[in-house]
Amino acid sequence: MNIMDFNVKKLAADAGTFLSRAVQFTEEKLGQAEKTELDAHLENLLSKAECTKIWTEKIMKQTEVLLQPNPNARIEEFVYEKLDRKAPSRINNPELLGQYMIDAGTEFGPGTAYGNALIKCGETQKRIGTADRELIQTSALNFLTPLRNFIEGDYKTIAKERKLLQNKRLDLDAAKTRLKKAKAAETRASQLNSARLEGDNIMSEQELRITQSEFDRQAEITRLLLEGISSTHAHHLRCLNDFVEAQMTYYAQCYQYMLDLQKQLGSFPSIYHCNNNQTSVAPTPSASSNVIGSSTLTSTSGLVITSPSNLTDLKECSGSRKARVLYDYDAANSTELSLLADEVITVFSVVGMDSDWLMGERGNQKGRVPITYLELLN
């Protein structure tokens, strides 16, 4: 019975406090009650925390879209995360494309030029898919997780203490209002019941001291939490550096994979045949084409026109011929010969060699060279 009485009294007290806060808040909004303002430093800290929360959420969500463009996949991963279960592994787009290419190349025949090229391209796409998977995993661990921990952990604590501070401020202002009304009533009252009014004033003053103390204590707790936002920014900066490092590694890997693929195919620079099949055009690669991030583009004025008959002469001549190297070329393996632009080498054909290659000689060095990098000399 005593426990029940205590619960009823506590419920009544809580209801009274809630009603008092609601009345104070409403009167403040209507301009009928004074409001205790927070000091400028605390207001700045609150604004900084709110700004950090808003932009952290935006950056986190857009990073998730960048790493996983498929919204259904993101929802599935979110559900598995909330259920504390590991999401099933799924093949990504580069891996799927790579598998299609490999299957098609196998169907067409690995011994054919097109089939062989498809298989090589497919293997490269699958390597890019693996690199993409590693980027997602690294970014999720080193960048997204710390940001999410701030939103779901630190900021929730700040929001809780901030709400508690707001309640303490409402209690303080409500106590101030009651004391002010009590003093006004005492002034207007006559000698009748003066002792009772004086007692009300004493109770109001005691209540004001208690609420002021609780408000000051809560303001200090909130201030200490908010000052930790600077440390949060420093931590997120380190996480951002990790994210940039992961991206740099990913793009460097992709660039190297594609560079190796071009060497394997011997297709750089590419040969474009006109519809009338009268000319072949080979764009000249810029000097910075092997530098990641280069924005240099080859203009049409740098194109080299090589007639099909010239290339046919290079391939079909029975003896050796001199040829000038048009572009630098790095050998992909020991069977190839590295080339420097404008140097002159000796070339000759070998029975059974791929149609896009010739055998080249420079002094004691010998190896395969891509035919599209050469200009036959008369």
Q: Among 229, 247, 267, give the residue marking a domain's end.
A: 267
Instruction: Say if CB 336 and CB 306 are below 8 A apart.
Output: no
Cis amide linkage into residue 269, ω under 30° from 0:
yes
Helix count and strand count (H, E) for the chain: 10, 8
Instruction: Say if CB 122 and CB 98 are below 8 A apart.
Output: yes
SS3 196: helix
Write the pLDDT tens digit of every residue in 251-301: 999 999 999 998 888 744 444 333 444 444 444 444 333 433 333 333 333
Residues 260 and 325 in one domain: no
Q: 371: domain CATH number?
A: 2.30.30.40
Residues 325 and 237 in one domain: no
Q: What share of the chain is helix, strand, coil (3-state, %, to 5)?
A: 65, 10, 25
Residues 359 and 221 in one domain: no
Burial environment of residue 97 by CB neighbours within 10 A (0 to 12, 13 to 18, 19 or more): middle
In a domain, 101, yes or no: yes
Q: What pTM was computed for the model?
A: 0.62
CB atoms within 10 A of CB 207: 17
Residues 238 and 329 in one domain: no
Of 76-85, 295-304, 312-321, 332-341, give the lowest mean pLDDT range: 295-304
In a domain, 273, yes or no: no
pLDDT at 302 (0 to 100): 36
Residues 216 and 325 in one domain: no
Q: Among 267, 296, 331, give the residue marking a domain's end.
A: 267
In a domain, 278, yes or no: no
Residues 245 and 352 in one domain: no
The more confidently predicted of residues 267 and 351 is: 351
pLDDT at 319 (0 to 100): 74
Instruction: Say if CB 374 and CB 347 are below 8 A apart.
Output: yes
In a domain, 84, yes or no: yes
Instruction: Say if CB 177 and CB 24 are below 8 A apart.
Output: yes
Cβ neighbors of 317 (< 8 A, separation 6 or more) are 348, 349
The more confidently predicted of residues 18 and 199 is: 18
Q: Which of 278, 296, 276 is nearest to 286 (CA)?
A: 296
**How many domains, in total, are found in the chain?**
2
Instruction: Say if CB 305 and CB 279 are below 8 A apart.
Output: yes
CA 65 from centroid of its chain's CA atoms: 8
Round to whole Å and give the CA distance between 137 and 121.
25
Write the pLDDT tens digit of every residue in 104-115: 999 999 888 899
Write the pLDDT tens digit of every residue in 200-258: 667 778 888 999 999 999 999 999 999 999 999 999 999 999 999 999 999 999 999 99
State residue 324 phi and psi, 5-degree precision: -95, 140
Instruction: Say if CB 151 and CB 56 are below 8 A apart.
Output: yes
In a domain, 307, yes or no: no
Write the pLDDT tens digit of every residue in 10-44: 666 666 677 777 777 787 777 767 788 889 999 99
The more confidently predicted of residues 5 and 178 is: 178
Residues 263 and 333 in one domain: no
Q: Which of 20, 11, 287 is nearest to 174 (CA)?
A: 20
In a domain, 141, yes or no: yes
Round to whole Å and give the CA distance between 311 and 281.
12
Round to whole Å and give the CA distance between 375 and 157.
72
Cβ neighbors of 296 (< 8 A, separation 6 or more) are 286, 287, 288, 289
How high is the mean pLDDT of the chain? 80
Residues 53 and 200 in one domain: yes
The more confidently predicted of residues 73 and 300 is: 73
pLDDT at 27 (0 to 100): 74
Q: Which of 94, 87, 86, 77 is nearest to 131 (CA)?
A: 94
pLDDT at 204 (0 to 100): 77
By residue count, the chain amounts to 378
Burial environment of residue 126 by CB neighbours within 10 A (0 to 12, 13 to 18, 19 or more): buried
Residues 218 and 364 in one domain: no
pLDDT at 20 (0 to 100): 74
Which structural domain range is residue 355 located in?
321-376
In a domain, 262, yes or no: yes
Residues 223 and 91 in one domain: yes
- Distances, alpha carbon 34 to alpha carbons 2, 96, 164, 256, in Å: 40, 66, 19, 68
Q: Which of 102, 113, 229, 106 is nearest to 161 (CA)?
A: 229
In a domain, 298, yes or no: no
Residues 58 and 133 in one domain: yes
Round to whole Å and give the CA distance between 37 and 43.
9
Residues 59 and 178 in one domain: yes
Q: Which of 52, 1, 21 is nearest to 177 (CA)?
A: 21
Q: Among 267, 299, 334, give the residue marking a domain's end.
A: 267
Per-residue pLDDT for 2 more than 80?
no
Q: 177: domain CATH number?
A: 1.20.1270.60
Per-residue pLDDT for 162 more than 90?
yes
pLDDT at 225 (0 to 100): 94
Mean pLDDT of 322-342: 89
